[in-house]
Amino acid sequence: MLPASARLPALFLFLATALGFTVASARAELVWTPQSGWRVEGGALSGLSGAEGRNALEQMNKARSAEEAGSRRSAVRAYAAIAKKYPNSVYAPEALYRSARLRLAGRDFNKAFEDFQQVLGKYPNTPRFNEIVGEQYRIASALLDGARGRMMWGMLPGFTQRDKALEFFETILVNAPYSDYAPLSLMNIARGHQKLGNIEDAIDALDRMINNYSQSLLAPDAYLKLAQTHASLVDGPFYDQGSTKESITYFTDFMLLFPSDGNIAAAEKGLDGMKTMLAESKIKIADFYFYKRSNLKAARVFYNEAITAYPESAIANRAKARLAEVEAKANNQPPPAAAPGEAPKKKRFFFF
């Protein structure tokens, strides 16, 4: 026989299991048919009983009748009243769901999303969870692509709401972080921020994508877009090269992680451009120290860094030629002759 200290947890486990089975077996489900209207099936737990239950059922039938008759606004108002008056009943999630569908049909995207969100927030065990997340994703995608809401004053189309789309995608991430919609939402968040010119926010979304969903089929696209987005921030060889280095990192990671991807050629081209930019920036600094300051030590350092940044490239050969000039000047020798076919060096002017 178990000691008392062991029997108590076992008893609680048994009761919890039994209660869970009882609740599951008694859970009610709403079913609608044109012939009989709404009825409760599958159990006894509708959340209401007696006159209150009959009133709720009657209101649900009136709302559905208005819906079937094409009176969308009347139906939405009726469903909203039911959800508010009977929040703990089986009727409330159904009323919110139907209200959301009606609002969506009327292109009232914001309120449709909010009604769907109420279902997920208040009734997370709804069997329609995946369907609703999918509907929310479609609403957010439509808004991001420029869908306009219902007509204003019956004449003018609504405004585009790309900012709202980004907010909706973030909500989807919270609702279903382990669903297939999560990485899709992050990629759309990045795309939306790029459309709006919020490059740093786009980078943040792509960074979250590769850190949280590295096994997703969208991961290669995220790495490549991160590299390209960092590259878009590069202003030229005379400016800070932080974005250039980040771009090089992500182009390299993409090529190492996804060597058979169809975008390898684009990545190679992007990597070549960024390495060239980084090496060029080193040469510009070295030229300044060499030609403007006659600081041969500093010039050596930066010409060598240019070679290291992109060895075995045309720009590395330029840096090596400059190093030869540095060494000639250090030894009080004439500069080396230009290689065959190389244009003579022009006098340089620096405005620093």
Distance between CA atoms of residues 180 and 291, nearest Å: 58
Residue 158: name the closest of 149, 167, 166 by CA.
149
Is 144 found in the same domain as 77?
Answer: no
Instruction: Provide mean pLDDT across the span 243-250.
Output: 97
Q: Give the chain's length.
A: 352
What are the tens digits of pLDDT across the range 55-105?
988 999 999 999 999 999 999 999 999 999 999 999 999 999 999 999 999
Predicted local distance difference test score (pLDDT) of residue 67: 93
116 and 210 co-located in one domain: yes
Residue 119 sits in the same domain as residue 181: yes
What is the total count of domains within the chain?
A: 2
On whether both 117 and 189 belong to a single domain, the answer is yes
Q: How many whole angstroms separate alpha carbon 305 and alpha carbon 319?
A: 9
- 8 Å CB contact between 133 and 181: yes
String of DSSP letters for 57-77: HHHHHHHHHHHHTT-HHHHHH
User: What pLDDT shows up at residue 20?
Assistant: 39
Give the single-character DSSP code of 45.
B
In a domain? residue 40: yes
Q: Which of 47, 80, 106 is the last residue of a domain?
A: 106
Does the pLDDT at position 112 exceed 70?
yes
Question: Is 208 contained in some domain?
Answer: yes
**Distance linking the first and last C-alpha atoms of the chain:** 90
- 330 domain residue, yes or no: no
Task: Please give the angle made by the CA atoms of 320, 303 and 337, to the nearest 5 degrees.
Answer: 35
Q: What is the pLDDT of residue 9?
A: 43
On whether residue 120 sits in a domain, the answer given is: yes
Alpha-carbon span 154 to 280, nearest angstrom: 59
pLDDT band (50, 70, 90) for residue 38: confident
Which of the four pLDDT bands, split at 50, 70 and 90, describes residue 8? very low
Range of the domain at 92: 30-106
Asked if residue 45 and residue 60 are part of one domain, the reply reads yes
pLDDT at 340 over 60: no
Q: Which two tokens stand for residue 76?
A: 């939405």
Residues 210 and 119 in one domain: yes
Tell which of 72, 106, 140 closes a domain. 106
pLDDT band at 149; cut points 50, 70, 90 = confident
Q: pLDDT tens digit string along 20-34? A: 333 333 456 788 887
Out of 106, 124, 142, a domain closes at: 106
Nearest to 189 by CA among 176, 175, 204, 211: 204
Does any domain span residue 83?
A: yes
Q: How confident is the model at residue 323 (pLDDT cuts 50, 70, 90)?
A: very high
pLDDT of residue 333: 82
Q: Which residue has the tokens 């590299």?
A: 227
209/118 same-domain check: yes
| Residue 345, pLDDT score | 53
CATH number of the domain encompassing residue 184: 1.25.40
Quick one: pLDDT at residue 5? 46
